[in-house]
Amino acid sequence: MHEMGIISGVLDAVNASAADAGANRVLTVNLRVGVMTEAIEDALMFAFEAMSERTLCEGAELVIEWVEPESLCLECGHAFGHDRFHRTCPACGSYETTLTAGRELEIASIEVDLPDDEE
Amino acid sequence: MHIDINKPILEKNDKLAAELRERFAENHVYVVDLLASPGSGKTSTILATIDALRDEFNIAVIEGDIASSVDAEKIKAQGIPAVQINTGGACHLESAMLKRAIDVLDLERLDLIIVENVGNLVCPTDFDLGENAKVMILSVPEGDDKPLKYPGIFQVSNAVILNKVDTLPVFDFDRDAFYASVRELNPQAPIFPIAATKGEGVEEWASWLADRIREA
Question: In order along chain B (216 residues), what is the average pLDDT of each group of 10 residues?
Answer: 94 94 97 95 95 97 83 89 86 91 95 94 90 97 94 94 97 96 92 97 98 95
**Is residue B22 in a domain?**
yes
Count of H-run helices and E-run strands, chain B:
8, 8
Q: What is the CATH number of the domain that holds B91?
A: 3.40.50.300
Size of interface A-B (CB pairs under 8 A): 111
Pairing of strands B2-8, B82-86: unpaired
B6 has a chain A CB within 8 A of its CB: yes
Residues of chain B contacting residue A38, judged by C-beta atoms under 8 Å apart? 122-123, 125-126, 152-153
What per-residue confidence (pLDDT) applies to A31?
97
Whole-angstrom distance, CA of residue B174 vs CA of residue B32: 28
B86-117 as b/e: b if 16+ CB within 10 A: bbeebbbbbbebbbebbeebebeebbbbbbbb
**Is residue B211 in a domain?**
yes
A97 has a chain B CB within 8 A of its CB: yes
pLDDT at A29 over 60: yes
Domain containing B122 equals: 11-215
pLDDT at A1 over 70: no
What per-residue confidence (pLDDT) applies to A118?
56
**Is residue B3 in a domain?**
no
SS3 A26: strand
A23 has a chain B CB within 8 A of its CB: yes
Structural domain boundaries in chain A: 3-68+101-113
In CATH, what is the architecture of A3-68+101-113? 2-Layer Sandwich (3.30)
The answer for residues whose C-beta is within 8 angstroms of residue A13's C-beta and 6 or more apart is A107, B5, B7, B9, B11
CB B146 within 8 A of CB B120: no
Helix H or strand E encompassing B73: helix B70-76
Nearest to B7 among A2, A13, A23 (CB): A13
**Is residue B5 in a domain?**
no
Query: Which chain A residue is nearest to residue B10, measuring alpha carbons?
Result: A9
Total tally of structural domains belonging to chain B? 1
Please compute Rg for chain B using Cα positions: 17
Confidence of residue A117 (pLDDT cuts 50, 70, 90): low
**Is residue B106 in a domain?**
yes
Size of chain A in residues = 119
B188 has a chain A CB within 8 A of its CB: yes
Whole-angstrom distance, CA of residue A44 vs CA of residue A29: 12
CB B125 within 8 A of CB B48: no
| DSSP symbols for B174-210 | -HHHHHHHHHHH-TT--EEE-BTTTTBTHHHHHHHHH
